[in-house]
Structure 1
Amino acid sequence: MKALVLAGGSGTRLRPITHTSAKQLVPVANKPVLFYGLEAIAAAGITDLGLVVGDTQAEIEAAVGDGSAFGLRATYLRQRAPLGLAHAVSIARDFLGDDDFVMYLGDNFIVGGIDALVERFARVRPAAQIMLTRVGDPSQFGVAELDADGRVVSLAEKPAHPKSDLALVGVYLFTPAVHAAVAGLKPSWRGELEITDAIQWLIEAGLRVDSSVISGYWKDTGNVADMLEVNRLVLESLEPRTDGRVDGSELIGRVVVERGAVVERSRVVGPAIIGAGARVEASYVGPFTSIGAGCVVARSEIEYSIVLPRASIDGVGRIEASLIGHDVEVTPAPSTPRAHRLVLGDHSKVQISS
């Protein structure tokens, strides 16, 4: 079996962060979300990896390399534009050959891995197997309708009137039968080749499509709120460790201070992680906070936030529920004149107290 991981897309819901960084490399607990997926694939016994990449190929390739760090052999497959999941399967046709494969969306996060899913698929071998989860607003997802025996009878992509609350999670398993389905597709109203249409083709061709409702935790980390929630979940499993220097400070609960980091005259309440080479001085770092490598937090308070590498926060009263990008500088505004001075990227969202 092979793995096809989708690591393209423009990440519009995470702008302005994704103007300069691939969405799959935004970190949770100081590790890119893509890496959790690659680790899950390797843990399932899969070694051949196809990475579908777009405009951020150079960044993805620099981070993943040849895949050997994850126990994988990586092949990079360029998709000229994000034209749909089924389009990604079509451009990977030569790489996939006649092998079964798992398709994994690189910005998805699943607790518990995919070992059991892969084992069951290899044993039963339906034409396709999908993972589902119950959601509050299914019209934002691909939606499955099941019969009384749990077999998939229909699928629809972002339907206006969903037939169930069962949304497709970003993990799919296929036999080579899917290639005939993909070859016969036409673009949807969104201008994309939809994987839901390919699976529906398999159903209408009388082939078996199985599903399982995920019992663990799943998130599509496509927006800031979901990134922060996944960060919270991962930090909950931290084992406390101090590899850096802590002077005149208080560490409470599950706190990791990575190698080369310095915490001085500060209070850190876990779960929290202070990245390699970061400096926390005369500050408060609250629960569910990830401070990236090389960051500086001085004379400030921050909680329930993700700070990407080399950012600096100095003299700020309090920050919470925030995602702060690479090399950002956050400082207090001058007390006079009383005005706000802003330099903001496209699609930014700013809240200013009156």
Structure 2
Amino acid sequence: MKALVLSGGAGTRLRPITHTSAKQLVPVANKAVLFYGLESIAAAGITDVGLVVGDTAEEIREAVGDGSKFGLDITYIPQERPLGLAHAVLIAREYLGDDDFVMYLGDNFIVGGITGLVEEFRATRPDAQILLTRVSDPRAFGVAELGPTGQVIGLEEKPERPKSDLALVGVYLFTPAVHEAVRAITPSWRGELEITHALQHLLDTGADVRCTVIKGYWKDTGNVGDMLEVNRTVLEDVERRVDGETDASEIIGRVVVEEGARVVRSRIVGPVVIGAGTVVSDSYVGPFTSIAENCRIQESELEFSIVLRDSSIDGVGRIENSLIGRHAQVTTAPSVPSAHRLVLGDHSKVQIHT
């Protein structure tokens, strides 16, 4: 059995972060979202992985390499444009051959991994198996309709009037039967080959499409709010480990201070992760915060936030519910005149307290 991991999306909902970085490599608890998925695949006993990449291919190659650090053998599959999930299956046909495979969206996060699901699929081997979860607004997802005995009877992509609240989670398991289905469908109104249409084709031709409704935690980390929520969830399980220096500081609860980091005259209340080479001085860092490597936090307060590598926050009071990109600088403004000075990229969002 192989895995097909999709890492070619543009990440428009995470701009401006994704103007300069792949959305799958944005870290939660100081580890790229993509890495959690690759680790889940390896834990399920799958070693051969096709990684679909697009414009950010070079960055993903540099981060993932040949896959050996995950116990995987990675083959890169270029996709010129993100033309839909079914298109990714189409272009991966030669790599997949006649093997069964799991398709995993590289920006999705599932607590507990996929080992049980893969084992169930291997044992029963339907033509396709999908994962579903209940959501408050299914209009933003692919949606499944189930029959009276729980069987899948229909699928729609981002419907205006959903027939259920069961959204497709970004993990799919297929036999080679899916290849004929992705060849049979045509692009949707979005100009994409939708995997929901391929699944519907399987249903229409009498294939065995089964579902598992998951009760555990799942997130599509496509926007800042979801990234922060996944970061919170991962940090819930962090165990205290202080390998760096703590000088005249108060470290409370489940806090990780990586080797090479320094905490000086500060108060850290976990769960918190502080990356190697980062210096936190005369500051407060509160729960559910991840600070990546080589950052500087000085005379500031920070809570429920993610700070990416090589960034600095200096004397700005309190920051919360924020995602701060790489090499960012957050500083105080002159007291006179009373004005805000901003340099913002496209699609930026700023909230100013007046």
Q: TM-score range by the shorter chain?
A: over 0.9
- Give the superposition deviation at 1:197: 0.3
- Give the superposition deviation at 1:185: 1.1
Aligned match of 1:336: 336
- Give the superposition deviation at 1:151: 1.3
Deviations 1:302-334 (A, max 9, x none): 000000001000111110000000000000011
- Give the superposition deviation at 1:248: 0.1
SS in structure 2 opposite 1:300? strand
SS in structure 1 opposite 2:317? coil
Q: Which amino acid aligns with 2:315?
A: G
Deviations 1:115-149 (A, max 9, x none): 11000101111000000000000111000001122
Distance 1:151 1:173 in 2: 16
**What is the root-mean-square deviation in Å for CA atoms of aligned residues?**
0.5
Aligned match of 1:148: 148
Deviations 1:22-73 (A, max 9, x none): 0000000000000000000000000000000000000000000000000000
Q: Does residue 21 of structure 1 match 2:10?
A: no
Distance 2:68 2:128 in 1: 28
Distance 2:281 2:320 in 1: 18
Alignment of 1:120-139 (within 5 A): 120-139=120-139
TM-score by length of 1: 1.00
Q: Any stretches of 5+ residues in structure 1 without a counterpart?
A: none
- Structure 1 runs, 4 residues or longer, greater than 3 Å off: none
Q: Which amino acid aligns with 2:148?
A: A
Distance 1:149 1:177 in 2: 24
Deviations 1:223-259 (A, max 9, x none): 0000000000100100100110000000000000001
Alignment of 1:151-190 (within 5 A): 151-190=151-190
Distance 1:159 1:255 in 2: 43
Aligned match of 1:286: 286
- Give the superposition deviation at 1:276: 0.6
Aligned match of 1:75: 75
Alignment of 1:1-16 (within 5 A): 1-16=1-16
Distance 2:18 2:34 in 1: 14
Q: Any stretches of 5+ residues in structure 2 without a counterpart?
A: none
Alignment of 1:33-112 (within 5 A): 33-112=33-112
- Give the superposition deviation at 1:340: 1.0
- Give the superposition deviation at 1:150: 1.5
Distance 2:284 2:216 in 1: 33
SS in structure 1 opposite 2:143? strand
SS in structure 2 opposite 1:181? helix
Distance 1:148 1:130 in 2: 18
Distance 1:292 1:128 in 2: 39
Aligned match of 2:247: 247
Distance 1:166 1:106 in 2: 21
Q: Which amino acid aligns with 1:100?
A: D
Q: Which amino acid aligns with 2:139?
A: S
Distance 1:333 1:50 in 2: 48
SS in structure 1 opposite 2:316? coil
Aligned match of 2:214: 214
The alignment covers a number of residue pairs equal to 354
Q: Which amino acid aligns with 2:147?
A: D
SS in structure 2 opposite 1:259? coil
- Give the superposition deviation at 1:157: 0.1
TM-score by length of 2: 1.00
